Amino acid sequence: QVQLVESGGGLVQPGGSLRLSCTASGSIFSIYTMRWYRQVPGKQRELVAAVSSAGSIHYAGSVEGRFTISRDNDKNTVYLKMNSLEPEDTAVYYCNFLVATTSTSTADNYWGQGTQVTVSP
């Protein structure tokens, strides 16, 4: 009912920048929270950044000062601007939205398909 499509990943050199985007479509009444996660093989998926509908923002300590999360509510889109990328940032990045599909429904989590970010010389 709700689909999230993300893009913007790729190969970048250390110190470089990328901007990820994630756009939701389908039956959407309200998107409460937009989040970015990342996962590397053999490790648990971790929260990278989050922004609420009220504007509250959270960053993981490892990306604070380098990454910026923002949202465009008119486009149902969240962005993750990544600067000063390091090899340790290499991962598959997933967007996650907490979405209410109607005015009376509870909110559920929806996931994007993932986009690969590789930081390497």
Mean pLDDT of the chain: 97
**47, two tokens:** 């929260």
Residue type, 70: S
- In this predicted model, what pLDDT tens digit does every residue of 84-114 receive, in sequence order? 999 999 999 999 999 999 999 899 999 999 9
**25, two tokens:** 């479509």
- In this predicted model, what pLDDT tens digit does every residue of 6-29 receive, in sequence order? 999 999 999 999 999 999 999 999
Average pLDDT over residues 34-55: 97
* Burial class of residue 106, CB neighbours in 10 A (0-12, 13-18, 19+): exposed
Which ranges in the chain belong to alpha helices (H)? Answer: none
Question: How far apart are alpha carbons 12 and 6 in whole angstroms?
Answer: 18
